[in-house]
Amino acid sequence: MGGTEHLTVRREGATLVLTLNRPESKNALSLPMLVGLYDGWLAADEDEEVRSVVLTGAGGCFCAGMDLKALAGKGMEGEQYRDRMTADPDLHWKAMLRHHRPRKPVIAAVEGHCVAGGTEILQGTDIRIAGESATFGLFEVRRGLFPIGGSTVRLPRQIARTHALEMLLTGRPYSADEAARIGLIGRVVPDGTALDAALAVAEQINACGPLAVEEVKASVYETAEMTETDGLAAELKRGWPVFATADAKEGARAFAEKRPPVYRRH
C-alpha cells in the first residue's frame, strides 16, 4: 500500500486512509511525511477502486505543523528522500494540498493539535470532523513566520474574512467548538471518535456514483470564484454528461428495482 516511516497507508473498503505517523513529535511535518502524503494523493487519484480518502493523525494528534527544530538548523529526518524533493521542488506544496487537489473527496479526521501547517493542510480537505478537545490555529506570526501554505489566500475564502484575519493576525489557538462556529470545521464529535465518524461519511460517499461525486466536487471548486452566470454555465458543462453515463442509468434502474446500485465508473 505504500507509505513511509512517517505516513501510513491502508484501505478501508473503497476508502484510502492516510495517517500522519510521527506522534513523538506531534506529527510535525518531515520529509518522509511529505513524500508519503504526495504519493498517497497520487495513489488515490490513480486507483479507480478508491472513492474517498480520510486523512488523520496517529497518537491522538493531527499535525503540529512545521518542524521548528529542523528550521532552526538541527536537521530534518529522512535525508534519503532528498532526491525526491530535488526532482520535484513543488512536492511539499502538493503534499500539503497547496498545489494539488485530489479528484476524490478528502475527509479530515482531527484529534488533538491541528495547528500551523496542520491547519494549512486542513484547508485543502473537503469535509472536516474533529474531536471535542482538538485545537486549531495559525501560529506562524507568533514565531515571526508567514503561513505560506496558502492560508492568506484560502482561509478568507472559506470562512468570514473577519474570522480569517483574527486567526491569521493573532496566532491564537481555537477550540473545536469555536472552529465549528466560524466554519473552519463541519462537525465536532466526542474525543477518540473522529476517525470513525470520518469513515462513516466516507462510506456514504462510496455508496454514491463515483463519476457524479468527482464531477460535483470539481464543479464546486471550479466555479468558486466565477460570477453566478459563468458558474451556472460551467456547471452545465460538467453536469449534463453525467446523465449520459451507464452509472446514471444504473442509479435510476436500482431505484426502480429497490436495490443498491452497482456503479462501474462508466
The pTM is what? 0.93
Q: What pLDDT, in 10s, does the model give residues 81-92?
A: 888 888 999 999
Those residues with Cβ within 8 angstroms of residue 23's Cβ, 6 or more apart along the chain or in another chain: 57, 58, 59, 60, 61
Annotation says 250 is catalytic: no
CA distance 34 to 29: 7
Q: How many percent of the chain have pLDDT more than 90?
A: 88
Per-residue model confidence (pLDDT) at position 75: 52
Query: Phi/psi at 16 (nearest 5 deg)?
Result: -95, 125
Exposure string over 161-196, b if 16+ CB within 10 A, otherwise e: eebbeebbeebeebbbebbbebebbeebbeeeebbe
The three grid cell numbers given for residue 231, joined into one nine-digit string: 458558474
Annotation says 140 is catalytic: yes
> Across residues 120-125, what is the average pLDDT?
98
Q: What pLDDT, in 10s, does the model give residues 37-74?
A: 999 999 999 999 999 999 999 999 999 998 766 544 44
> Across residues 128-151, what is the average pLDDT?
96
Work out the pLDDT band at 198, boundaries 50, 70, 90: very high
CA distance 261 to 74: 55
CA distance 214 to 196: 23
Query: Phi/psi at 120 (nearest 5 deg)?
Result: -70, -45
* Catalytic entry in 111, 140, 214, 215: 140
CA distance 110 to 130: 4
Task: Please name the residue that has the C-alpha cell 469535509.
Answer: 127
Comparing C-alpha atoms, which of 120, 84, 127, 126 is closest to residue 101? Answer: 126
Per-residue model confidence (pLDDT) at position 71: 44
Is the separation of the CB atoms in 170 and 152 below 8 Å?
A: no
For the chain, the first-to-last Cα distance in angstroms comes to: 26
CA distance 104 to 126: 10
Work out the pLDDT band at 77, boundaries 50, 70, 90: low
* Catalytic entry in 120, 203, 214, 222: 120
Please enumerate, as own/partner, the contacts of 240-243 that have beta carbons within 8 Å and a separation of 24 or more.
241/215, 242/209, 242/211, 242/212, 242/215
CA distance 93 to 70: 18
